[in-house]
Amino acid sequence: MQIKELGHVVLYVTNLDRAVHFYRDILGFTAIAVKPGVAAFSSGRTHHELLLIEIGGAPRTDHEPQPGLYHIGFKIGDSTEELRTVYKELLAQNVSIIGATDHGVTHSLYILDPDGNELELYADVSDDWKTNPAAIMSQPRALRL
């Protein structure tokens, strides 16, 4: 067996309306189906890339490293300028921005969704990884936007 690509991510959320607003209206995913308790989204690459299932409860508040999912990465473009524009949009929407990193091949913003899930919004700024796969392991540096 060989995995061909990452197909989709499913997240449990505490409040579906709030999560739909965040992923659709702030991050710009297209909602392709919203029903009581569940919503599916796609960027257009495949039938769905994100599925939200409402379970109630309280959002996560502890962000100490622990086994399990660390974050989900979403590509937003191919330049630092595109990431800078996204940064300004997130600030205007009062999204919790928890970091910005230069990874060499990508420039990334780290944010929290309404349930405390960490998301990486990144721009591919170099294709060095195509000829040097180890380039993805470059020492991370602070990124100023």
Q: Give the confidence band of 4 by pLDDT, cuts at 50, 70, 90.
A: confident
Do the domain assignments include residue 135? yes
Asked if the model's pLDDT at residue 86 lies above 90, the reply is yes
Specify whether 110 is located in the same domain as 54. Answer: no
Do the domain assignments include residue 15? yes
Task: Read off the CATH number of the domain in which 130 is found.
Answer: 3.10.180.10
Specify whether 75 is located in the same domain as 51. Answer: no
Tens of pLDDT, residues 113-144: 999 999 999 999 999 889 999 999 999 999 99
Domain holding 43, by residue range, is: 6-58
Whether residue 80 contacts residue 70, with contact meaning beta carbons closer than 8 Å, is answered with no
Specify whether 76 is located in the same domain as 121. Answer: yes
Do the domain assignments include residue 1? no
Specify whether 25 is located in the same domain as 77. Answer: no
**Two structure tokens written together for 10:** 């499913």
Specify whether 87 is located in the same domain as 126. Answer: yes
State how far Cα 124 lies from the chain centre. 14
Do the domain assignments include residue 64? no
| Mean pLDDT of the 58-69 span | 84
Q: Give the confidence band of 6 by pLDDT, cuts at 50, 70, 90.
A: confident
Amino acid identity, position 94 = N
| Mean pLDDT of the 16-25 span | 98
Specify whether 54 is located in the same domain as 76. Answer: no
Which positions ≥6 away from 98 have C-beta within 8 Å? Answer: 63, 110, 111, 112, 118
Q: How many domains does one find in the chain?
A: 2
Q: What is the pLDDT of residue 96?
A: 94
pTM of the entire predicted model: 0.92
Specify whether 98 is located in the same domain as 76. Answer: yes
